[in-house]
Structure 1
Amino acid sequence: MTAPPRPWMSRQDRRRIAQLLVLTLVLVLLTPVRPAHASVNLLVNPGLETVDSTGFPQCWEQSGWGGNTYAFAVSHPGRTGANAMQITVSATAGGGDRKAMMLENPSCAPNVTPGHQYDLSAWYTSTTPDTVLTAFRHDAAQGWVYWTDLLSLAPATTWTEATVRTPQVPPGTDQIVWGVTIYGTGVLRTDDYTMVDATQPTPDLSCSAGVACEQGAWKVLPFEAPVRGIHAVVLHNGDVLLVAGSGNSEEMFEAGTFTTAVYHPDTGTFTDVPTPADLFCAGHVQLADGRVLIMGGNKDYPAADLSHGYKGLKDSYIFDPATGGYERVNDMSAGSWYPSATVLGNGDVIALGGLGEDSSGTVATQYFDAAEERWLGINEANQTWSFWGLYPSMILMQDGRLFYTGSHVFGNGLPGTGASIYDYDAGSITPVPGLQNKDERDQSMSVLLPPAQDQRVLTLGGGNIDSNPDANPLTDIIDLKQPSPAYTAGPPIPAGKMYVSAVLLPDGKVFETGGALHNRADPVYEASMFDPMTNTFTPGMAVDPVPRGYHSSAFLLPDGRVMAVGDNPGDGSFDMRLSVYTPPYLFHGARPQILGEVDRQWAYGSSHTVTVDAPILKASLIRPAAVTHSSDPNQRSVDLPMSVDGNRIGLNLTSNPNLAPPGWYMLFLQGTNGVPAVAEWVKVG
């Protein structure tokens, strides 16, 4: 009898192969997916090999602005192939820049889809750090407009690849162009450009939390603050500094009872802080090392016989989170009650406006030198002798000038257009037109819209303390990148209000909450969400059950929630309750997690890598709040262009300190489900 044929593979062999197949499948699933650049490049002539009649690469242009001395050339050989683009800037006395840029031409510019993100890469060599990858976009209404600077490039003597992920393409944009800008002296060569659609599949955004999925939800905490939260500062350790001074209580002022407390969100506890002076209605700003500079305050309440009004202190202190106490620094050059405070790109601070020791308006420009840790004398600082009102909102621009937005407190009747650009170095003030009803913007609020690179400011709401009409729902928007910036009317907020709070969120939106219809009366229970991408408000957000009028504030916490404090009606009472708002995004799934350690020190123009457990949509640095009286001119959200390699995310910080002034920031990563990770603290500068 013939034996049956043996199987061509033994049972043991089959078992081993099955195990290998399983192992291979596991390895495939665990291996990070890299973009398949070569097969999906969206660019025309990406290798610069096709040239026009002049010998310059087709679909590329020689662009830039200013009077610098420059030369464009096609260098040989390229990184691959024959050609590379070369720009030489030999002198910058005339200012400006030069760009290796794609043509703004329908047949050359790559088409894009709103809401999508794209991975861009280019190979380069450079002898200067003054280079940046720049993008422009074609808007259906405005035509070609600047979009954003995506990535600063370090000098490189050999061919080096720069890769970055764009933000989401805004609505109305159908094409983009991009390239490398050089704005300092040196030689730049570029070659082999790539652009691919990096958009993740639409995630499941289902939510089982009912109306909270769309509106968010408020919770009033089961305890009250021990001090009146006139001033609120989010410290770089996650605690919240609440400063009252006399807290608008003349009785406490006469008794010399001045209060401060530190709130610890992790434990729901407070630490009392001895307070050396009446810091009621002082100015404050966070210094580069995370300490808080507090300037001015209340020297005296108004006299019963009306012989004088509020008087401003010259005193100045630094609060140190490490010691939990105040340290005295030298006096300001003039008394300041309700002064502004804006940190500059070099870490110094400018204070403007307020009332002086004689109750009159302070016209001195007061300058704090951070390196010397002192206020300059009156003759050491550049002066224009201008009165800016009380708490004038002064926002640092990307070129180092200050934009006075028109938001103020008790500043009605000031001459001019209501808004202006102030150049400290030149000592010049340039009026800015377009602000609506400039004398009814008392207790309005202004914010630099996300991302800071876009240089757009939103001013919303306001009223008039003197005539006390119904507060208005007006908004105004300005693009500070324009050669002659001017406000244009924005969409109205859903309800007229003064004492309004506006908080920048990790998802790039602005949460608008709180306010009142009249001076210290008639609270408005309304909240909405502003989307800078669409310039629209979404009404019907959940409403804080606590009235939030005069002396109220709202601010972002490192966990992505918003806290609100304070309310001081005309009867002199003060609401000590604390509220916390959970935005809709926190109801839409699990938070992404940052795995391992994060670099804490971030130099300008540097790149940093973080490892995550889920796909990431966007990354940003948000400066922690230092807010009072609807005023936080230093609030800003700085976009971090990304490069993605599986679960490793490369984050690129701007090289411009005017976009991200030195100091501690909250690093937020937003998952593709819209949910942000809990912020990590990083120190810029």
Structure 2
Amino acid sequence: MKPRRIDRILRALNVRRRTVTLVAVPAILLGVNVPPALAWVSEARHEAYLHSEEYVAAHGRWDVVELPADVRVNAIHAAMLPTGKILLVAGSGNDEKQFDAGTFSTLVYDPATGEANKVDTPSDLFCGGHAFLPDGKLLVAGGTQRYEKLDGQVTRAAGAMRVRNENPDAGRDFAKGTAFLSPDGRTYLADAAFTVPPAVKKGEGADTTVTASETIVFVESDQEGHGGMTDAPAQYSVAGLDPAEAKNIYGMGAQMTMAKQDFQGIADTYEFDPFAEKYVRVGDMTQKRWYPTLTGLPDGQVIAVSGLDGTGQILPGQNEVYDPATKRWTDRPDLFRYFPTYPAIFQTGREGTLFYSGSNAGYGPADAGRQPGFWNLGDNSFLPVPGLRDPDETETSGSAWAGPVQDQKMIVVGGGGVGESPKATARIDAIDLKAPQPAFTPGPDLRTPTRYPNVVQLPDDNMLITGGSRDYRGKGASDILQASLYTPSTNKLTDMADPAVGRDYHAEALLLPNGQVLTAGGNSLFKNVDNTKPAPFEQRLEIFTPPYLFHGPQPTIATAPTEAKLGDTVPVTSPEAANIATARLIRPSAVTHATDIEQRSVALDIARNPDGSLGLRVPGEATMVPPGYYMLFLVDKNGTPSTAKWVHVT
């Protein structure tokens, strides 16, 4: 076919010729019975239509971003920093070779300029938790102490050792490799450094009681094979202690087995400073955690929930609170409550009440902690809510506020069965937390049953649902190259343009200040239908431009304050002030494993001043607007948002 003829086709589609250079596809992909020239034109026409004004105005557009090889990372976690840059945390990146080498990575990427820089990562933050603090720093806690060993891979008997100290006057630090000696002469070595605090002494004189302190550490036999196995509980001596210390400090061991060993957590905690772009070590958690959830509270403190401990066991309910003023964690035995790992737990509009949507990721039995409901931090009670469809498929589902947080409506999207189950659901169910008797009600179904969907709130109150896979970790080449727009006000779902990059396990999506959405990560087990070829970690980024950015020029924010207090009415100017319909404060995302507790959209009442400026009122409740940095968007009557200005709400 002559070039002149191709030009006429493209002009008819109202697309510039350069589009075709991006879509050259071998004719064999289109069908062996199609003449190559006609096949190429057919594909060109289709791709040209996907980039046409008509199509993108209705369905948006995706663009793939490939970073230079020396700054690519396995993006396990992603956070939108108040500098407009994105923090991509890999840690060891689900790569045991990197873990063994002590090579941990974090990337700071600027989507506005394309600049990307790696920063020093002092611990393996792979599969930790995170939450923004009032000053804009990102609290990052937990991560990986040891990689899992599957059945057949375990070469040394191992188990949990409870190390006790009966001395109330002194604790003791121990190094990794500390030896524990059994009564029958076997030796087991600690796989991490640990501390035993002093015992607890109460009363005086004859009424004095001393309660031994206890620390749990994972130990492994010093010999390979089954010789280190034992079922017998025993008291172990600790090598290297003097006789006086040995009377007070000892180990209590139970089973030492060759069974599968799960990932183990760490207690390391950092505040990532977005302005200095570095991690700052703060006080460690009271528990080691891998796959924890960190939820910000209205007073600026953060609660840490769930996770696998330092022996690879799921914590049965030990929860703790971080105080950014003291940089310390406090154990909260009064809030002892079990949840599966990465539970989706949100601060509601009521002081002292959190909502667990039922969404979670990864670990925990199928018959415990799966019921959604309200968690009252005042008395540690839990009120379940009914109505969620496919209640046995909440693992790997996505949850998010639907519309402005003042509406107190939430959706649960997709999900699958526990563990490596092939089950998946297309469910979108909604709940009104303000209802007299809150219960989930059915919404529209996704086109495909989906595990690992990412759900992103947009400035126009719509929600982008993208990515995921049909099967566990993309098995059977089941990545879902689909995206949809959910409209909370109508409970409707609209198909969007299809992404080009599969996103499943270890994938993230977040809103950018210019109104676009960035996706990252993706960690399929296999890259082929037969599940025989391991898949590489997906290191490409992809950016979605929603339809609202093709509906005309974006309104602009000429001036806006950088600071605001709860309850303030803040002055904002815009050349398009008369055409502004809504204003939103959107809290930036911190997302991993389809879990984003941070994002929330706050509706601002608009007063139109005589001088043409706008007065935007910030709600006065910290439960609605937890202190921190927010993106301020103005949205015009066409539904087109401005580029955001950052506002620090105190």
Whether these two folds match at TM > 0.5 is yes
Conserved 8 A contact 2:286-2:320: yes
What's the CA shift string for 1:45-79, capped at 9, x where partnerless? xxxxxxxxxxxxxxxxxxxxxxxxxxxxxxxxxxx
Amino acid at match of 1:370: P
Per the TM alignment, residue 469 of structure 1 is displaced from its structure 2 partner at its CA by 2.5
Per the TM alignment, residue 416 of structure 1 is displaced from its structure 2 partner at its CA by 6.0
Amino acid at match of 1:473: A
2-structure distance, mates of 1:465, 1:272 = 35
1-structure distance, mates of 2:423, 2:439 = 26
Number of residue pairs aligned between Structure 1 and Structure 2: 474
2-structure distance, mates of 1:632, 1:463 = 18
2-structure distance, mates of 1:565, 1:678 = 22
2-structure distance, mates of 1:275, 1:460 = 33
1-structure distance, mates of 2:506, 2:66 = 21
2-structure distance, mates of 1:526, 1:470 = 19
Equivalent residues in 2 for 1:300-449, closer than 5 Å: 300-303=146-149, 304-305=153-154, 306-362=259-315, 363-376=317-330, 378=331, 381-400=332-351, 401-410=353-362, 411=364, 413-415=366-368, 418-449=371-402
Per the TM alignment, residue 425 of structure 1 is displaced from its structure 2 partner at its CA by 2.3
What's the CA shift string for 1:111-157, capped at 9, x where partnerless? xxxxxxxxxxxxxxxxxxxxxxxxxxxxxxxxxxxxxxxxxxxxxxx
SS where residue 340 of structure 2 aligns?
Answer: coil
1-structure distance, mates of 2:449, 2:306 = 26
Q: Give the counterpart of 2:602 among 631, 638, 642.
A: 638
| Residues 629/467 of structure 1: CA separation in 2 closer, same or farther (3 Å cut) | closer
Conserved 8 A contact 1:244-1:259: yes
SS where residue 261 of structure 2 aligns?
Answer: coil
2-structure distance, mates of 1:533, 1:323 = 41
Q: Give the counterpart of 1:215 among 50, 59, 77.
A: 59
What's the CA shift string for 1:520-570, capped at 9, x where partnerless? 12101111100011011112x011101111111111000000000011111
Per the TM alignment, residue 439 of structure 1 is displaced from its structure 2 partner at its CA by 2.1
Partner of 1:593: 556
Per the TM alignment, residue 360 of structure 1 is displaced from its structure 2 partner at its CA by 1.1
Equivalent residues in 2 for 1:521-670, closer than 5 Å: 521=474, 522-539=478-495, 541-570=496-525, 571=534, 573-595=536-558, 597-614=559-576, 615-645=579-609, 647-670=612-635
2-structure distance, mates of 1:666, 1:435 = 32
Partner of 1:32: none
1-structure distance, mates of 2:516, 2:112 = 13
Conserved 8 A contact 2:318-2:333: no
2-structure distance, mates of 1:300, 1:222 = 31
| Residues 270/560 of structure 1: CA separation in 2 closer, same or farther (3 Å cut) | same
1-structure distance, mates of 2:72, 2:298 = 36
Per the TM alignment, residue 465 of structure 1 is displaced from its structure 2 partner at its CA by 4.5
Per the TM alignment, residue 484 of structure 1 is displaced from its structure 2 partner at its CA by 2.7
Conserved 8 A contact 1:509-1:529: yes
Worse-superposed segment, 415-424 or 362-371: 415-424
Conserved 8 A contact 1:420-1:430: yes
2-structure distance, mates of 1:208, 1:630 = 31
Unaligned runs of 5+ in 2: 1-50, 155-258, 526-533
SS where residue 406 of structure 2 aligns?
Answer: helix
Equivalent residues in 2 for 1:181-260, closer than 5 Å: 209-223=53-67, 226-260=72-106
Per the TM alignment, residue 673 of structure 1 is displaced from its structure 2 partner at its CA by 2.1
1-structure distance, mates of 2:540, 2:570 = 40
Amino acid at match of 2:482: E
Percent identity, aligned pairs only?
40
SS where residue 284 of structure 1 aligns?
Answer: strand
What's the CA shift string for 1:565-601, capped at 9, x where partnerless? 0111112520110100000000010111122x31111
2-structure distance, mates of 1:675, 1:460 = 26
Conserved 8 A contact 2:420-2:472: no
Per the TM alignment, residue 489 of structure 1 is displaced from its structure 2 partner at its CA by 2.0
Partner of 2:113: 267
Conserved 8 A contact 1:382-1:424: no
2-structure distance, mates of 1:408, 1:516 = 16
2-structure distance, mates of 1:331, 1:255 = 23
Conserved 8 A contact 1:242-1:262: yes
Amino acid at match of 1:383: D
Equivalent residues in 2 for 1:456-475, closer than 5 Å: 456-466=409-419, 468-475=421-428
1-structure distance, mates of 2:81, 2:564 = 18
Per the TM alignment, residue 451 of structure 1 is displaced from its structure 2 partner at its CA by 0.6
Amino acid at match of 2:359: S
**Poorly superposed stretches of 4+, deviation over 6 Å:** none
Per the TM alignment, residue 508 of structure 1 is displaced from its structure 2 partner at its CA by 0.6
Q: Give the counterpart of 2:447 among 468, 475, 494.
A: 494
Q: How big is the alpha-carbon RMSD for the aligned residues of Structure 1 and Structure 2? A: 1.5
Q: Give the counterpart of 2:639 among 663, 674, 677.
A: 674
Conserved 8 A contact 2:390-2:425: no
1-structure distance, mates of 2:381, 2:622 = 22
Conserved 8 A contact 2:336-2:380: no
Higher helix share: 2
Per the TM alignment, residue 467 of structure 1 is displaced from its structure 2 partner at its CA by 5.2
Amino acid at match of 1:564: T
2-structure distance, mates of 1:216, 1:543 = 9
Amino acid at match of 1:246: S
Unaligned runs of 5+ in 1: 1-206
Conserved 8 A contact 2:345-2:354: yes
Please report the TM-score for the alignment, with normalisation by the length of structure 2: 0.71
SS where residue 383 of structure 1 aligns?
Answer: helix
Conserved 8 A contact 1:214-1:584: yes
